[in-house]
Amino acid sequence: MSPAVTGGPILIVGACQAGVQLAATLRERGELAPITLIGDEAHRPYQRPPLSKGWIKGELEADDVILRTREWFADRDIELITGDRVVTVHRTGEAGVATTEGGRALAFERLALTTGAAARRLLLEGTDYQGVRYLRDADDAIDLRGIFPAVESIVVIGGGFIGLEVAAVARGLGKSVTVLEAAPRLVGRVVAEETSAFYLAAHRRRGTRVVLDARIACIVGEDGHVAGERGRVTGVQLESGEVIPADLVVIGIGVVPRTELADQLGLEVAAGIVVDEACRASDGRTVAAGDCAIMPNPYALGVAGLVRIESVNNALEQAKIAAATLMGEEAAYRSVPWFWSDQSDLKLQIAGLSTGYDDVVVRGDVDAEKFAVLYYRAGRLIAADCVNQPVEFLTVRSAIAKGLTIPAAAAADTSVPLKQSVVDAAPAPDVASSLARASEPV
């Protein structure tokens, strides 16, 4: 590709998975215009997934989670600003300017929002006791890692992936762990009953207490040394009156996309910054990618409208599309979504999106903790949750990407390798029209 200046200076707000990938792709595609990447965290851009896994366990150091070195940015002539937050952004015709908390004024002609999401706050009496934590960013994780060794009892509020990962680490370190989930099953928003039931049993087998349909009355603790100041947390009280002792409470109840700047620009926002398949926002010129963006997804079947996906894969793939769009090239999001979660020795890999499924097939040995749940819609394979089954995961992901399927009866037969059962698909009309748009990524 020949180098090109395809427009004026580019400003990317949000320096994490999506922002860094966007800057990288711009340079890879030959963009020569000045690029500024700004993030409000004091740290060099880093990966979040290890924070709830190896980092809090104490197995990793800062360099292990850093995405790129300062030299990497310098070599590509990408100006990286950390520890400063964009507070206002204005656009008049081609010219735009963003101002920061630190007093910078950053001029741009092209703008990308990769502002991610913030931890959803729990509105409950007692969340201000010392020892009540969230886990979204590096500061939270550094804090938790420091606290962990002295902690004996942990209550995790929220049985989603992050809560369960924290619970698994804590249990692995010998802590007494309770997970409180308000819904009737774990990770119910994302996986089928079968996968939820497996994780419930697996965590219980490892000694974690899991309470489903949990109704929390309040978080309780000691009075502080100063009048009116909160002291240490001592537990979580359920509406039944039971108090579950805790010297650490970790809250993981989801995230809220950061759309403040999109609001300022008057962009369409609906549970995320609304973008089209090219990652273009409603003004036709700003792009957005990653956790902050909500877009039509060709793999989201049975859902009307837009989908927001919180995963590294999604952040990276959307960022690549957004970069191409900023350079005036034709691009559309086409890659099969995938995700992973590590909980003790259980590696979950999810291929595709299971929205709108009408049938599931369980393949493998659930009791041996090696199995896959395959999701079908109108007889066609659309997704799979694979537990300690990396080959099955790759097979399903590749089949979906190629528009192929695995008949349900064949999928259940473990005497035949899954790969051998992949066949051409004859999709139902709604599946066909949605997937017809899905081919290889740009």
Ligand X SMILES: Cc1cc2nc3c(=O)[nH]c(=O)nc-3n(C[C@H](O)[C@H](O)[C@H](O)COP(=O)(O)OP(=O)(O)OC[C@H]3O[C@@H](n4cnc5c(N)ncnc54)[C@H](O)[C@@H]3O)c2cc1C
363 near ligand X, rule: CB under 6 A: no
Task: Select the residue interacting with ligand X from 73, 198, 199, 339 (CB under 6 A).
Answer: 339
Task: Select the residue interacting with ligand X from 9, 49, 126, 221 (CB under 6 A).
Answer: 49
**By CB under 6 A, which span of 25-33, 45-53, 265-273, 433-441 interacts with ligand X?**
45-53
310 near ligand X, rule: CB under 6 A: yes
Q: Between 67 and 412, name the residue whose CB sits nearer to ligand X.
A: 67
Task: Select the residue interacting with ligand X from 109, 247, 291, 392 (CB under 6 A).
Answer: 291
| Residues counted in the chain | 442
The nearest distance, CB 248 to ligand X, in angstroms, is: 16
Q: Which residues sit opposite 157 in a β-bridge?
A: 180, 251
Per-residue mark of binding to ligand X, 198-237 (x: CB under 6 A): ----------------------------------------
Q: Which residue has the tokens 């880093």?
A: 46
**By CB under 6 A, which span of 194-202, 266-274, 339-347, 395-403 interacts with ligand X?**
339-347
Task: Say how far apart CA 314 and CA 294 lie, in whole Å.
Answer: 11
Q: Between 165 and 369, name the residue whose CB sits nearer to ligand X.
A: 165
- 255's tokens: 């995230």
Judged by CB under 6 A, the number of residues near ligand X is 36
**By the 8 A CB rule, do 31 and 61 touch?**
no
The nearest distance, CB 135 to ligand X, in angstroms, is: 5
The nearest distance, CB 223 to ligand X, in angstroms, is: 32
Pairing of strands 346-352, 380-387: antiparallel
Name the residue among 31, 146, 4 with its Cα closest to residue 12: 31
The nearest distance, CB 79 to ligand X, in angstroms, is: 14
The nearest distance, CB 143 to ligand X, in angstroms, is: 13
| Helix-then-strand count for the chain, H and E | 12, 27
Task: Select the residue interacting with ligand X from 16, 154, 262, 287 (CB under 6 A).
Answer: 16
311 near ligand X, rule: CB under 6 A: yes
**Sign of dihedral through CA atoms 189, 195, 200, 206?**
negative
- 410's tokens: 């064949």
52 near ligand X, rule: CB under 6 A: yes
**By CB under 6 A, which span of 194-202, 217-225, 310-318, 413-421 interacts with ligand X?**
310-318
- 249's tokens: 């409470």
Per-residue mark of binding to ligand X, 103-142 (x: CB under 6 A): -----------xxxx-----------------xx------
AA letter at 260: E
The nearest distance, CB 433 to ligand X, in angstroms, is: 28
343 near ligand X, rule: CB under 6 A: no
The nearest distance, CB 253 to ligand X, in angstroms, is: 12
Task: Select the residue interacting with ligand X from 24, 25, 39, 191 (CB under 6 A).
Answer: 39
DSSP assigned state of 77: T
68 near ligand X, rule: CB under 6 A: no
**By the 8 A CB rule, do 131 and 29 touch?**
no
144 near ligand X, rule: CB under 6 A: no
Task: Select the residue interacting with ligand X from 261, 295, 326, 360 (CB under 6 A).
Answer: 261
290 near ligand X, rule: CB under 6 A: yes
Q: Which residue has the tokens 């959307």?
A: 318
**By the 8 A CB rule, do 179 and 211 touch?**
yes
Task: Select the residue interacting with ligand X from 24, 26, 31, 40 (CB under 6 A).
Answer: 40
Task: Say how far apart CA 95 and CA 115 lie, in whole Å.
Answer: 21
CA angle 163, 165, 166 (to 5 degrees): 65
Task: Say how far apart CA 367 and CA 233 lie, in whole Å.
Answer: 37
* Residue 143 to residues 116, 137, 149, 153, 250, Cα–Cα distance (Å): 21, 10, 11, 17, 12
Residue 341, phi-psi category: left (phi > 0), alpha (psi -120 to 50), beta (remainder): beta
72 near ligand X, rule: CB under 6 A: no
Strand order across the beta sheet in which 216-223 lies: 216-223, 230-238, 243-245
Interface residues with ligand X (CB under 6 A) are: 13-19, 38-41, 48-49, 51-52, 85-86, 114-117, 135-136, 162, 258, 261, 290-291, 310-313, 315, 339-341
